[in-house]
Chain A
Amino acid sequence: AQSVTQLGSHVSVSEGALVLLRCNYSSSVPPYLFWYVQYPNQGLQLLLKYTTGATLVKGINGFEAEFKKSETSFHLTKPSAHMSDAAEYFCAVSVYSGNTPLVFGKGTRLSVIA
């Protein structure tokens, strides 16, 4: 079975500072990894995904994440935070079995301070 741990339920950064949201996963087979963002009163929007190939994945809104198999991590980063980045971020894992649902972490709420 797969699982996801997001370190830090709340992260606060200053506008223009580096954003780092941590995600560690557990999977007995090669995983597919995702980051989703959720704004208040909205559904989840896919930020980026790792399936196979390049381990550094670029997503929308300037976010990127690096798959590190040795560390079982998939941390999300953005060089410079913007006020509009304030939201809840979810890391999720799946595997290519064709019959495995997404397993989500508990989420990290990002606050951006002016």
Chain B
Amino acid sequence: KAGVTQTPRYLIKTRGQQVTLSCSPISGHRSVSWYQQTPGQGLQFLFEYFSETQRNKGNFPGRFSGRQFSNSRSEMNVSTLELGDSALYLCASSLGPGQGAHEQYFGPGTRLTVT
């Protein structure tokens, strides 16, 4: 069974631009969560989607948004990029609420660099 895939793996953007990251969960998994990883703040939860609905959201500004499609694939978007948005963005998938939602499987991440 294929694991979680994330595209692209690396991105370089300029301040003020926007970016879209993509995540394909493990087949059969319907929940997708996004995390931001930085050396200073560690792993921080961004949001979680299940059945195309955002179920939970972390403490990030509105520039960070996401969505989930009917096939469970998810995208996250960051608008008006800032230098501080440089990070590794990790996507994790799980079966869904009440079905081992806490057992998450992570993708390799997208390394975003903002210059």
Contacts and interface: CB of A to CB of B under 8 A. Distances in A.
Contact of B90 (A41, A43, A101, A105): A43
Nearest to A102: B104
Contacts of A107: 42-43
Interface in A30-83: 32, 34, 36, 41-46, 49, 51
Given A42-B108, A104-B42, A104-B43, A99 B102 contact: no
A105 B109 CA distance: 18
Interface residues of B, number: 24
A44 B103 contact: no
Contacts of B58: 101
Contact of A99 (B6, B56, B92, B109): B56
A51 B100 CA distance: 10
Interface of B: 4, 6, 33, 42-43, 45, 48, 55-56, 58, 90, 92, 97-98, 101-109, 111
Given A42-B108, A101-B48, 4 more contacts: A43-B90, A96-B102, A102-B45, A106-B42
28 contacts: A34-B102, A34-B103, A36-B106, A41-B108, A42-B108, A42-B109, A43-B106, A43-B109, A44-B106, A46-B103, A46-B105, A51-B102, A90-B43, A98-B97, A98-B98, A99-B55, A99-B56, A100-B56, A101-B45, A101-B48, A101-B56, A101-B58, A102-B33, A102-B92, A102-B104, A105-B42, A106-B42, A107-B42
